[in-house]
């Protein structure tokens, strides 16, 4: 175990107070946005750096020293590693001072690294713990790493199971592996094919790649969850593309959700939703725009006192539409049943159909003509629209 301090006036506690996990209200999003722009205090950094030069021990150095002592007790080889770190730090400071350093830790494993601003850190296959303030470039290698970052850092981790905590405006490539990510605001986050657990607050862009991911988000995020059976829970004003897989999506208010291919379940409180290909179940608790296109499968919609604006895509017209009530609930189908949508617990007058050519009609205006073809089976051959 080794400990590295660069620009040592910074400790992990200096920014974690500004980090807020997603809440349940959109008001938290606006508060988080204002907090997310907090930058390190230049005067405090300069003061800490000066104290380090005089041999004093800032809080970050004390914390690292405690961890170093524990490591020495566990591993007889730690003293040798620490001496190597000291020599490397002395050499770096002789070349470039406490700020703007570059450190290649390829020869070391299982590192604890604290950096302030403007550094480049590269590690190899160990399980490293890296704490960074701002404007650093971090390549954490292939181990299962823990990275804590404040603002405006570029962070890359490899195929290990990484844990990443980020405040604001960081660019994060977490790679493959089963990663855990906590991010505050305005971060760009990419993960690979592992099964990730991701919690984000406001204004982030997330591409979670493959794998069965669990994603929690507050507000104003853009989320692409890729392939896999994902579990997504969001608050408000998010844009979600769930990709392929059998996804479960819970949205609070005014989200735009594209569930993608697969048999998805969506529960949302208003906004816009497109179930995509597959047999989807949509539960709507507020007025919602629902997009339905040719090839979208057989969907079911249930509501709780909500109105539906059903936007129908090209190839779905009154000429190839049938309506039945054989299950006790209205079912709209197109193209001889190739696509269908069944409504449950809804007033017919609360459903408005809007076709691609702009024509609209209410569901209660559509009166099916039933032609008996057997003692208990009816077939709908035509529709007459009540004018």
Start-end of H helices in the chain = 13-16, 26-36, 42-53, 59-74, 78-96
**Integer Cα distance of 31 and 23 in angstroms:** 11
How would you classify the pairing of strands 171-173 and 188-190? parallel
Whether 263 is in a domain gets the answer: no
pLDDT score for 82? 44
**Integer Cα distance of 274 and 255 in angstroms:** 11
pLDDT score for 383? 45
**Integer Cα distance of 217 and 221 in angstroms:** 7
Whether 280 is in a domain gets the answer: no
The CA-CA-CA angle for residues 150, 152, 153, to 5°, reads 80
Whether 119 is in a domain gets the answer: yes
Cβ–Cβ < 8 Å for 342, 329: yes
**Integer Cα distance of 251 and 247 in angstroms:** 13
Task: Show the domain range for 137.
Answer: 1-224
Whether 198 is in a domain gets the answer: yes
3-state secondary structure of 54: coil
Whether 147 is in a domain gets the answer: yes
pTM over 0.75: no
**Count of all residues that appear for the chain in the document:** 387
> Within 13 Å, how many C-alpha atoms sit on residue 74's CB side?
8
**Long-range contacts of the stretch 171-179 (C-beta < 8 A, 24+):** 177/144, 178/211
The CA-CA-CA angle for residues 82, 58, 141, to 5°, reads 45
pLDDT score for 72? 44
3-state secondary structure of 84: helix
pLDDT score for 84? 53
Cβ–Cβ < 8 Å for 213, 199: no
**Integer Cα distance of 228 and 213 in angstroms:** 7
Cβ–Cβ < 8 Å for 380, 367: no
Whether 174 is in a domain gets the answer: yes
pLDDT score for 80? 52
- Residue 183's beta-bridge partner residues? 166, 200
Of 380, 359, 358, which Cα lies nearest the Cα of 369?
Answer: 380
Q: Which helix (H) or strand (E) holds 122?
A: strand 120-123
Whether 90 is in a domain gets the answer: yes
List pLDDT tens digits, range 201-260: 999 999 999 999 999 999 999 999 999 999 999 999 999 999 999 999 999 999 999 999
pLDDT score for 325? 86
**Long-range contacts of the stretch 34-37 (C-beta < 8 A, 24+):** 35/184, 35/185, 36/167, 36/168, 36/169, 36/184, 36/185, 36/186, 36/201, 36/202, 36/203, 37/151, 37/168, 37/169, 37/185
Whether 149 is in a domain gets the answer: yes
DSSP character string of 222-244: EEE--SS--EEEEEES-EEE--S
pLDDT score for 181? 98
Q: How many domains does the chain have?
A: 1
3-state secondary structure of 134: strand
Cβ–Cβ < 8 Å for 264, 243: no
> Within 13 Å, how many C-alpha atoms sit on residue 247's CB side?
37
pLDDT score for 2? 52
Residue 350's φ and ψ, nearest 5 degrees, are -90, 0
Q: Would you write out the chain's pLDDT as a tens digit for each of its 387 residues?
A: 555 555 544 444 444 444 444 444 444 444 444 444 444 444 343 333 333 343 444 444 444 444 444 544 544 454 454 455 445 445 544 444 444 455 555 555 678 999 999 999 988 778 999 999 999 999 998 889 999 999 999 999 988 999 999 999 999 999 999 999 999 999 999 999 999 999 999 999 999 999 999 999 999 999 999 999 999 999 999 999 999 999 999 999 999 999 999 999 999 999 999 999 999 999 999 999 999 999 999 999 999 888 999 999 999 999 999 999 887 889 999 998 999 999 998 888 999 999 999 999 999 998 764 544 444 444 444 444 433
């Amino acid at each position: 175990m080794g400990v590295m301090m660069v620009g040592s006036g910074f400790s992990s506690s200096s920014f974690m107070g500004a980090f807020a996990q997603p809440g349940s209200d959109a008001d938290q999003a606006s508060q988080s946005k204002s907090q997310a722009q907090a930058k390190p205090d230049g005067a405090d950094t300069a003061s800490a750096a000066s104290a380090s030069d005089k041999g004093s021990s800032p809080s970050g150095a004390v914390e690292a020293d405690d961890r170093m002592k524990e490591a020495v007790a566990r591993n007889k080889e730690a003293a040798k590693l620490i001496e190597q770190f000291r020599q490397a730090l002395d050499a770096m400071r002789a070349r470039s001072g406490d700020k703007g350093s570059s450190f290649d830790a390829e020869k070391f494993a299982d590192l604890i690294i604290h950096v302030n601003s403007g550094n480049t850190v590269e590690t190899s296959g160990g399980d490293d713990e890296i704490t960074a303030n701002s404007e650093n470039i971090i390549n954490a290698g292939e181990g299962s790493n823990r990275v804590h970052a404040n603002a405006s850092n570029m962070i890359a981790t490899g195929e290990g199971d990484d844990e990443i905590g980020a405040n604001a405006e960081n660019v994060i490539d977490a790679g493959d592996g089963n990663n855990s990510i906590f991010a505050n605001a305005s971060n760009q986050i990419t993960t690979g094919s592992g099964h990730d657990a991701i919690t984000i607050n406001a204004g982030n862009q997330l591409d979670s790649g493959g794998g069965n991911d669990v994603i929690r988000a507050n507000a104003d995020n853009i989320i692409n969850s890729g392939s896999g059976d994902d579990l997504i829970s969001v608050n408000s004003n998010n844009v979600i593309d769930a990709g392929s897989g059998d996804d479960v999506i819970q949205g609070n208010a005014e989200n735009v959700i594209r569930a993608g291919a697969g048999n998805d379940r969506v529960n949302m409180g208003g906004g816009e939703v497109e179930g995509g290909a597959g047999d989807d179940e949509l539960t709507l608790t507020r007025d919602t725009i629902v997009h339905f296109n040719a090839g979208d499968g057989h969907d079911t919609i249930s509501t709780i006192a909500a109105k539906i604006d059903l936007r129908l895509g090209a190839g779905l017209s009154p000429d190839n539409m049938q309506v039945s009530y054989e299950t006790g609930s209205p079912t709209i189908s197109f193209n001889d049943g190739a696509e269908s949508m069944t409504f449950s617990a809804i007033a017919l007058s609360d459903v408005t159909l809007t076709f691609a050519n702009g024509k609209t009609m209410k569901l209660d205006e559509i009166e099916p003509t039933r032609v008996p073809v057997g003692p208990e089976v009816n077939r709908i051959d035509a529709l007459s629209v009540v004018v």
